[in-house]
Structure formats: C-alpha cells, structure tokens
Amino acid sequence: MTSGTSFRRVPYHLGIVMDGNGRWAQARGMPRLLGHRGGVNNIRPVLEASVGFGIKALTIYAFSTENWARPPAEVSGLMKLLSETIRRQLADLHANGVQIRHSGRMAGIEPGLQQQIRDALELTKNNQRIILNVAFNYGGRAEIVDAVRQIIQDGLKPDDVSEDVFARYLYTGGLPDPDLIIRTGGEYRLSNFLIWQAAYAEYYATPTFWPDFDKEELRRALQDFEDRDRRFGKVKTPS
Ligand code: FPP
C-alpha cells in the first residue's frame, strides 16, 4: 500500500454506501449476485487507495437490517460472499495492518459466520494502519435501540446519559464520527447508515455504480471534501 497525500485535509473516518451493484450487473446482462461479487472485488483497491490518501478509518455498508427483505437467494448469496471474503482475504488484510471492526447486530447472522467475524476481529484488533469497519446486519435505528437497551440494562440514571456516553454505546463506540459519507449509485439518501454519527458529516454522491468506483473517483470526492467549509453549526471565525 502506498502512503502520503496531496490534500491539505483528508477525512479521518470515511463512510461509503456501496450502492449500484445490482444495476452494474444488470447493465452487463449478469445476475445481481455477480454485481455483489464485483462490489466485493472493489473493496480492496478502495481500501488501499484510502490508506494512500491518509484516511485512518473506512466504514463500508455491506448489509443492512432492511436487506433481509430481498429475495432469499440474494440474501444467502450476500452471507456466503462475506464468509468467502473473510476466508480468502483475512490473512492478507492482517499482514497489511488492517484492523477489522464490525458494526451491526450479531443476532440473526448464522452462527458459523458469527464465529468467522469474531475470529477476524480478534486476529486484527491490534493493527493500526487503517480500520476497516464492516457495517453488516447494520441499521442506524436498530443501533440506537440497542444502545438504549444496554444503557437501561447497565442501570444508568438519566443524568448519566450525555451525547458522549451515548455514543460509546453505539456499535461504533471508540471510533470518531465519520467526516465524509460517499454514496455511489446515484441516490441521495443515507438509508439508515450511521444516522447518529453522520450528524455533521459532509455528504458526497456520485452516479458511478460501486464496482466502478475507483481511486480517481475517490480523489474527486476528497477534493470536494477539502473545499467544503465545515462549521459544525457555528459561524466562521474571521481569518
Ligand atoms: C447495494 O447494491 C449494495 C448492497 C446491498 C450492499 C453492498 C454489498 C457489497 C459490496 C457486497 C457484499 C459485501 C460483503 C463484504 C459481503 P444494490 O444491490 O442495492 O444495487 P442496485 O441499487 O443497483 O440494485
């Protein structure tokens, strides 16, 4: 992986909604699942490009709590793809200093795949080069409900709950909020992705389908980000 960047400022944490796999496949007369395979194949190059640009954490939206409503063959295909990807790529990701994290509900995921996920987290937990946070069986609303349940279970009192404390109860606890969210595939919505954490994220949408999103596209998104004026609800300090 290369290092160094030509940008004055890059996102510390980048989130990507990897949309458009199905349409990418359909445009080629292929079944949707081959689009997801194309999508998986694109994760590694984008991860490497992210390291090169100086990004420290990348969250990818791989499977949402709403995706269970897709046709059963597509759902089981996506489960198999994650399992296969862990099996094939884990050793190499580990050797390249990638720390894998998971954001999402474990319940509902098949036990064998749950174990593969736990093993991947355990193996890579001390790696520092980049965090690859995989949002799988993830929903922003489910995440908030799960946080509230845990807070009640832990017996916190109303006054104990601040925004910082609450954020630590989210699946992403310990990760800084995303600075930039990119959505491929041409839609302009968050689709329940990091809805708490993205409160002040910059947003970038491109019509490019995820399997075609490459380093040049990422560079364009980062250029756009660098030009944004992030005020976090304040007014700009005169220079
Ligand atoms: C949206 O494309 C994409 C998803 C449902 C999730 C993204 C999934 C991958 C990149 C592959 C799975 C990743 C792992 C790690 C298993 P879409 O199907 O909504 O595309 P469309 O909008 O063109 O139909």
Write the pLDDT tens digit of every residue in 93-152. 999 999 999 999 999 999 999 999 999 999 999 999 999 999 999 999 999 999 999 999
**CB neighbour list of residue 197: distance below 8 Å, 6 or more residues apart:** 15, 167, 170, 172, 175, 177, 178
CA of 22 to the centre of ligand 1 (A): 7
Count how many Cα atoms sit within 13 Å of the Cα of residue 38 in the half-sphere of its side chain.
22
Q: Rounded to an integer, what distance in angstroms lies between the CA atom of residue 32 and that of residue 183? A: 19
Q: Is the CB of 22 under 6 A from ligand 1?
A: yes
Instruction: State mean pLDDT over 27-33.
Output: 97
Q: Rounded to an integer, what distance in angstroms lies between the CA atom of residue 77 and that of residue 33? A: 7
Which alpha helices (H) appear in the chain, and where do they start and end?
21-26, 32-53, 72-95, 111-124, 140-153, 163-168, 215-227
Residue-wise pLDDT for 71-89, tens only, equals 999 999 999 999 999 999 9
48: left (phi over 0), alpha (psi -120 to 50) or beta: alpha
CA of 183 to the centre of ligand 1 (A): 12
Grouping H, G, I as helix, E, B as strand and the rest as coil, residue 4 is: coil
What does the block give as tokens for 30? 């292929």
Closest ligand 1 atom to Cα of 26: 23
With bands split at pLDDT 50, 70 and 90, how would you rate the model's confidence at 3? very low
Q: Rounded to an integer, what distance in angstroms lies between the CA atom of residue 195 and that of residue 193? A: 5
What does the block give as tokens for 91? 């050793």
Active-site positions read: 19, 67
Nearest CA to ligand 1 atom 24: 22
pLDDT > 90: percent of the chain: 93
Q: Is the CB of 185 under 6 A from ligand 1?
A: yes
Average pLDDT, the chain: 95
Q: Is the CB of 64 under 6 A from ligand 1?
A: no
Q: Is the CB of 78 under 6 A from ligand 1?
A: yes
Q: How many residues does the chain have?
A: 239
CA-wise closest residue to 145 among 109, 120, 171: 171
CA of 18 to the centre of ligand 1 (A): 6
